[in-house]
Amino acid sequence: MGYTIVYGRQFLRTTRGIVPLVLCGSNNCTELINGREVRVRDWNVFYSGKMVELSDLDFLNMVRDLHKDGQESQCFKFRGKWIDDKGAVKFFENGVRTAVSIEEIVKRLPYQSLSCYLSVWPNDSGNNHDSGNRIELEQCNIKTTLELEKWIDQAKARRQELTDCSTYICIHFWGKKPLKLGNQPNSKGQVIAKLSNGYVYDYTKDLSIRYSKDIMKAIVFDSVEEALEKIGTNFGLKFISAANQTPRNFAIRVIGGNSHCVYVKKKTAKYLKTSRSTDTAKMFISRRSAEKYIETMLQGRFEKVKDFEVVNITELAA
C-alpha cells in the first residue's frame, strides 16, 4: 500500500499570507544518496500550490473542510505514527503558528534559500503522463520575501494563461532535511550557545565557529541578543542558561569484554559507541547521575560488555 510520509514542516509567511511547505515523499519510492538507498523526499507546497498566500484563517478553513468528515484514520505518517483527520488539522494549525519569513530562516541558517518553478502538464497528453510536461519560470537562490512575492505573482499570472494545462506551483528549500531553526528564548541573563557537536568556545568574523564538548570552555554571553550579534548567526543553535556551566568530571568506563578500558561516548538503540579518550566521552555532573545512567540505560543491554564503572577524570589526570 502506498502512502505519504511527512519528514518535516516549515511554513513561510509573506506580507500577504501563508506558504505551507512540507518535506514529504512516498513510502514506495527510493533513491541513492551517497551510496545509500533512502526513500525519496522533497519540499513541496501543500495541496499542489493551490493554497499559496492564503490568510491564516482562510488556509485553516480549507484544511478543516478537507478533513471535516473525521473518518480518515491514515492521512499520512509523521514521526513514525499515522495521522488521522483530527491530527492533520492540528498538524497544519501548528504549521501556521510557527510560520516565519524567509529572512528569519536565512538569518538562522545562512546557507538556506528557496528554489521556485512552475510545473506544467498538458491536459491532452493522453495516457502518457510524462508527455509534454515542462518547467517554467525557474528561479533559484531566493532569500527575501520581496523576491518570493514577485515570483508568486508571475507564477499565478502564468497559470491563468495556461488554461489548457494543469499547473503546479513548486517551492523548495535547499536540501532534503527538516529545518532546525533552534530556539530564541526570551529568558534574561547570561547564556551559552550550544549545538549537537558541542558548546561554542570560539568564533571569527567570517562566521567560523569552534565547538567543545566541555561546557566549562564555552563562551558566556550576557544575553541571546549579544550572542547573535557577536556570532553573526546562530546556525540553528540553542541557548541555555549560563547557570548550566557546571563542571562535568565523571565518565563511565567499560570493564572487561571486547572493549575493555574505553569510555562510553554514546548509546543508540542497537549499539554502544565508545572512545579511548575522556575528551569525547559522555560526561556527568556527579557520580550518582553517572551511576543512574548505568542502571537505567546500560546495565544488561550489551552482550559484549561485562560491566561498567564510574571514574572521576580529575583523579585520573592526577
Out of 9-23, 60-74, 223-237, which region has the weakest mean confidence (pLDDT)?
Answer: 223-237
Exposure string for 48-79, b = 16+ CB within 10 A, e = fewer: ebebbbbeeeebbebbeebbeeeebeebbbbe
What pLDDT does residue 102 have? Answer: 95
- Looking at the fold, whether 46 and 145 belong to one and the same domain comes out as yes
Q: Which residue has the higher pLDDT, 236 or 239?
A: 239
- Looking at the fold, whether 157 and 260 belong to one and the same domain comes out as no
- Looking at the fold, whether 163 and 50 belong to one and the same domain comes out as yes
Give 74-127 pLDDT, tens digit per residue. 899 998 899 999 999 999 999 999 999 999 888 778 778 999 999 998 886 555
Is residue 178 one of the residues assigned to a domain?
A: no
Is residue 181 one of the residues assigned to a domain?
A: no
- Looking at the fold, whether 110 and 160 belong to one and the same domain comes out as yes
- Looking at the fold, whether 120 and 38 belong to one and the same domain comes out as yes
- Looking at the fold, whether 67 and 200 belong to one and the same domain comes out as no
Q: What residue numbers bound the domain in which 307 lies?
A: 250-317
**CA 90, 96, 97, 102 torsion-angle sign:** positive
State which amino acid sits at residue 21. L
- Looking at the fold, whether 134 and 257 belong to one and the same domain comes out as no
Quick check: 133 pLDDT over 80? yes
- Dist CA 300 CA 297 (whole Å): 9
Is residue 182 one of the residues assigned to a domain?
A: no
Look at residues 128, 146, 173 and tell me which one is the last residue of a structural domain. Answer: 173
- Looking at the fold, whether 158 and 9 belong to one and the same domain comes out as yes
Q: At 247, is the pLDDT very low, low, confident or very high (cuts 50, 70, 90)?
A: confident
Which percentage of the chain shows pLDDT scores above 70? 89
Give 152-199 pLDDT, tens digit per residue. 999 999 999 998 898 999 999 999 999 988 655 555 688 888 877 788
Is the pTM for the entire model greater than 0.85? no
- Looking at the fold, whether 139 and 34 belong to one and the same domain comes out as yes
Number of domains in the chain: 3
- Looking at the fold, whether 311 and 211 belong to one and the same domain comes out as no
Is residue 185 one of the residues assigned to a domain?
A: no
